């Protein structure tokens, strides 16, 4: 293993094919991660809002979605989509779509909890003030609650984006044409697994390290931002 790590010929072979064999997977990983994150945000906002409504059935639906997708492995979910979606759409599922659906729905459950926590952190008086001015629930969320919520949950959202990028590697199991898939294929073709997986890890690091630093920066900034205190009711 160590001899393979320091074998210069193997590294030279890797650098020769790096743009051709790794770049498509790197681009696919970025595309799946960005589009999957957008889907996760949309689902997270929808189900996060449903979980904070006074309508019980909406809360139950949100809870079922969150509990099911958080408590089943992403690998199982991706294999389920890979096996069942062709029967639904009547043909082969594009790898890009498979990846977006897999990581998007999975992380949407986690983003939903983040959104719910952020909404609940906003003082209840904000809702009451909005309703007194004639705002509907959706208008209250759009113009008053969600803008404040985003400031609170940005560090957690950045962490979810980081985890989502790393979880795109599961697509290699279904020939998802992502970075991990190309690295695994190149390593298997030549037997240079050390170089294949080390370079793959390095490319993931290039994507994830800035996100990790961003999450840390947002976390520190959030701690420095004063949190509005709730007013205590004074007895008459």
Q: Please name the residue that has the structure tokens 């009547």.
A: 90
Contact 22, 202 (CB under 8 A): no
Most confident of 2-11, 43-52, 126-135: 43-52
| Ranges of H-type helices in the chain | 2-5, 8-17, 23-50, 56-70, 74-89, 95-121, 124-132, 137-140, 146-167, 179-190, 193-224
- Domains defined along the chain, listed by start: 2-224 (1.10.3720.10)
Residue 112 has pLDDT above 90, yes or no: yes
Model confidence over 207-229: pLDDT tens digits?
Answer: 899 988 988 888 787 777 655 55
Cα 17 to the chain's mean position, in Å?
A: 30
Indicate the average pLDDT of the chain: 84
**pLDDT confidence band for 9 (50 / 70 / 90):** confident
What's the average model confidence in pLDDT over 110-137?
89
Is the pLDDT score of 178 beyond 60? yes
The CA-based angle 205-209-211, given to 5 degrees, is 130
> 105 pLDDT exceeds 90?
yes
Q: Using the structure block, give the residue that is written with the tokens 């957690």.
A: 156
Which tokens is 139 given? Answer: 């208008």
Determine contact, residues 222/155, Cβ cutoff 8 Å.
Answer: yes
Closest CA to 209 of 170, 162, 174: 162
Q: How far apart, in whole angstroms, are the C-alpha atoms of residue 224 and residue 236?
A: 36
């Amino acid at each position: 293993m160590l001899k393979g790590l320091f074998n210069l010929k193997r590294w030279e072979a890797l650098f020769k094919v790096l743009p051709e064999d790794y770049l498509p997977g790197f681009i696919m990983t970025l595309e799946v991660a960005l589009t999957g994150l957008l889907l996760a945000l949309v689902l997270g906002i929808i189900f996060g809002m449903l979980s904070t409504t006074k309508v019980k059935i909406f809360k139950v639906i949100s809870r079922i979605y969150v509990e099911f997708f958080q408590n089943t492995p992403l690998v199982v979910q991706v294999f389920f989509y890979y096996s069942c979606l062709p029967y639904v759409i009547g043909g082969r599922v594009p790898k890009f779509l498979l990846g977006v659906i897999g990581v998007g729905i999975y992380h949407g459950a986690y983003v939903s909890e983040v959104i719910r926590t952020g909404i609940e952190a906003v003082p209840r008086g904000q809702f009451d003030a909005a309703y007194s001015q004639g705002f509907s629930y959706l208008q209250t969320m759009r113009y008053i609650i969600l803008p404040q919520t985003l400031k609170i949950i940005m560090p957690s959202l950045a962490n979810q984006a980081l985890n989502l990028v790393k979880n795109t590697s599961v697509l290699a199991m279904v020939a998802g044409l992502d970075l991990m898939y190309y690295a695994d294929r190149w390593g298997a073709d030549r037997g240079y697994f050390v170089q294949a997986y080390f370079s793959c890890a390095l490319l993931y690091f290039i994507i994830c390290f800035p996100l990790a630093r961003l999450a840390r920066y947002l976390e520190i900034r959030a701690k420095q931002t004063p949190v509005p205190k709730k007013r205590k009711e004074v007895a008459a």
